[in-house]
């Protein structure tokens, strides 16, 4: 039997090495994409069913084009929000045959541009930025360097206005692994255009350092001159930002210092505890075509990215526009500083976890986009081009990472918590005569909190397994029927739903979904999932040897009533 199995493996390997390249040579483009889908099924696409090994699939097949890229001639109307059809397309469709390949223009001997904290800028810098942005806003819409065209870039790539090449599937740079590299490209060209408008090659964008205690209040520079945007929530200007903002409800923090402490504990969870593997931090792997669809955002993209967007936007607008809705966010000048901080945190995460090349996948590395540079040239730039900020000519001012030592502690003793949970379970079973704690929820509404007992497939892992694998809590089959902002928090072994928040170790993470809709009937059936690393959390809760844990999904917005969940499970990710 073993010999037969070995022979089958060898035969398949020979097919891949010899027959496949020859076959591809004779196939036309559409056939290649069909064959690609078949091979992904055979080899094992990354996020199918419930694999115990959630590593990002590495596919590198000879003569096969496998990358995500926009079809520049396919721009069409799209939905800025579920009730609003928009057109974010540029005035004329470009073609990729006029694009030039990206080239680094800075050598190792060049002086790096330094992106500085928006709270620590001097008047000279602010005057430069004011001049550059004023000129950019004065340029006509026909000029791709103009502020209006820069703002619409985000709308174009976050609403599915472009189809992918060789496919009718659309491109959205949120909620998957292209999120960080796309925004890095976007800011890079935006920054270079601003610098060229004032003929100052040293100019660099500022970043809003909202993860630092002395920079959590909205930057004052954005309340003056060309940085003003009328579509912001004025009641938030003098308050500490809530990185775990609930949008329609009041946060748990009762004072400024408590909000700072909550933010620091939240950052620790989102960057360190819950995001020890690339997919957990960066999002799920997106592959070409409709079959390669995924909707599983990384921890920081969910929050603070989504939550700060909403916190800044005007709450009286339908969906907190401008910043609160992706189609309009680019119109607020603070958008670029918000994303500069996210770009910085990407590098911080890589340094903390020792991942210079976070994803070694051909599809991710070869995926590319197009941007106009300061010389009005259309540039094709790949993900592999933007992995090192110093090669791009810039770096970040060093700031204190105050959240590194903010590891939360349990609300109550783990032993007492487990005793209370066991008592609650016994009482429920005795009074109802039914065991209602199945982790398979099958479309259960999130109108009210959901509490389920989730089995751990591998409670007694070896030291080697513990070292190599991250235990991952997966909330799957998340589907929103309405059009509001959806947010729910996730807790493990929580005994009291009134004493909650990121400052307690029971907090595992959060799910945030801003309103969205896609062109095409098939997009309406797509479901999302949330993945959170919990290995460290389980050790702190003394649950790392338990055969099951209690998971609580706590709705934080009214739109959760229109959201359903299919289930909760535990996977393991190497």
Q: Residue for token digits 């060229």? A: 196
Residues involved in catalysis: 154, 174, 183, 305, 309, 326, 339
Q: Are 66 and 366 in contact (CB under 8 A)?
A: yes
What's the 3-state SS for 23-59? Answer: HHHHCCHHHHHHHHHHHHHHHCCCCCCCCCCCCCCCC
Order of all β-strands in the sheet with 528-533: 440-445, 563-573, 470-480, 528-533
User: Do 177 and 282 form a contact (C-beta atoms < 8 A)?
Assistant: yes
Q: Using the 8-state DSSP alphabet, how is residue 287 labeled?
A: -
Q: Quick check: 406 and 268 in contact, CB under 8 A? A: yes
Query: CA-to-CA distance for 256 and 215, rounded, in angstroms?
Result: 13
In the chain, DSSP finds a helix count (H) and a strand count (E) of 16, 15
Query: Where do runs of H (alpha helix) occur along 313-435?
Result: 326-329, 334-353, 362-366, 414-432
Helix (H) / strand (E) containing 508: strand 507-513
Structure tokens at 143: 């000029």
Beta-bridged to residue 454, according to DSSP, are 549
Other beta carbons within 10 Å of 145: 22
- Alpha carbon 528 to chain centroid distance? 13
């Amino acid at each position: 039997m073993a010999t037969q199995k070995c022979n089958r493996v060898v035969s398949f390997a020979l097919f891949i090495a010899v027959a496949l390249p020859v076959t591809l040579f004779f196939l036309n483009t559409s056939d290649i994409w069909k064959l690609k889908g078949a091979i992904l099924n055979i080899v094992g696409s990354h996020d199918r069913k419930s694999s115990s090994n959630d590593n990002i699939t590495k596919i590198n097949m000879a003569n096969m084009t496998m990358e995500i890229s926009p079809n520049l001639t396919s721009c069409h109307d799209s939905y800025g929000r579920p009730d609003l059809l928009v057109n974010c397309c540029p005035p004329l469709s470009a073609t990729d045959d006029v694009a030039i390949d990206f080239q680094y223009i800075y050598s190792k001997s060049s002086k790096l541009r330094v992106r500085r904290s928006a709270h620590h800028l001097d008047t000279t810098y602010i005057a430069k930025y004011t001049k550059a942005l004023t000129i950019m806003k004065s340029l006509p819409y026909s000029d791709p360097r103009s502020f209006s065209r820069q703002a619409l870039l985000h709308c174009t790539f976050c609403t599915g206005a472009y189809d992918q090449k060789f496919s009718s599937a659309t491109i959205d740079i949120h909620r998957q692994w292209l999120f960080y590299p796309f925004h890095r490209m976007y800011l890079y060209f935006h920054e270079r255009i601003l610098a060229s408008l004032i003929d100052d090659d040293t100019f660099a964008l500022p970043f809003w350092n909202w993860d630092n205690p002395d920079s959590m209040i909205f930057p004052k520079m954005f309340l003056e001159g060309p940085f003003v945007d009328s579509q912001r929530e004025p009641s938030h200007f003098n308050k500490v930002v809530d990185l775990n903002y609930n949008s329609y409800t009041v946060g748990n923090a009762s004072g400024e210092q408590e909000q700072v402490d909550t933010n620091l504990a939240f950052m620790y969870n989102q960057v360190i505890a819950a995001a020890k593997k690339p997919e957990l931090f960066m999002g799920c792997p997106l592959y070409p075509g409709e079959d390669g669809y995924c909707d599983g955002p990384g921890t920081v993209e969910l929050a603070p990215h989504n939550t700060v967007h909403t916190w800044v936007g005007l709450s009286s607008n339908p969906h907190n526009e401008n910043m609160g809705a992706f189609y309009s966010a680019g119109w607020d000048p603070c958008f670029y500083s918000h994303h500069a901080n996210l770009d910085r945190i990407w590098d911080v995460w890589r340094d903390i976890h020792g991942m210079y090349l976070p994803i070694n996948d051909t599809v991710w590395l070869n995926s590319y986009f197009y941007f106009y540079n300061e010389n009005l040239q259309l540039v094709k730039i790949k993900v592999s081009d933007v992995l090192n900020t110093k090669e791009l000519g810039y770096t970040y001012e060093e700031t204190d990472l105050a959240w590194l030592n903010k590891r939360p502690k349990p609300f109550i003793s783990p032993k007492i918590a487990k005793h209370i949970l066991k008592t609650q379970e016994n009482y429920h079973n005795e009074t109802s005569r039914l065991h209602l704690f199945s982790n398979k929820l099958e479309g259960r509404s999130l109108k009210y909190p959901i509490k389920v007992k989730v089995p751990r497939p591998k409670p007694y892992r070896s030291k080697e397994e513990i070292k190599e694998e991250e235990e991952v809590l997966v909330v799957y089959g998340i589907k929103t029927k309405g059009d509001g902002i959806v947010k729910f928090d996730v807790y493990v072994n929580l005994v009291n739903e009134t004493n909650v928040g990121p400052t307690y170790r029971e907090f595992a993470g959060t799910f945030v979904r801003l309103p969205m809709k896609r062109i095409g009937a098939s997009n309406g059936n797509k479901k999302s999932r949330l993945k959170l690393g919990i290995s460290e959390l389980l050790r702190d809760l003394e649950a790392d040897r338990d055969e099951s844990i209690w998971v609580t999904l706590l709705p934080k917005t009214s739109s959760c009533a229109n959201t359903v969940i299919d289930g909760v499970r535990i996977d393991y990710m190497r």
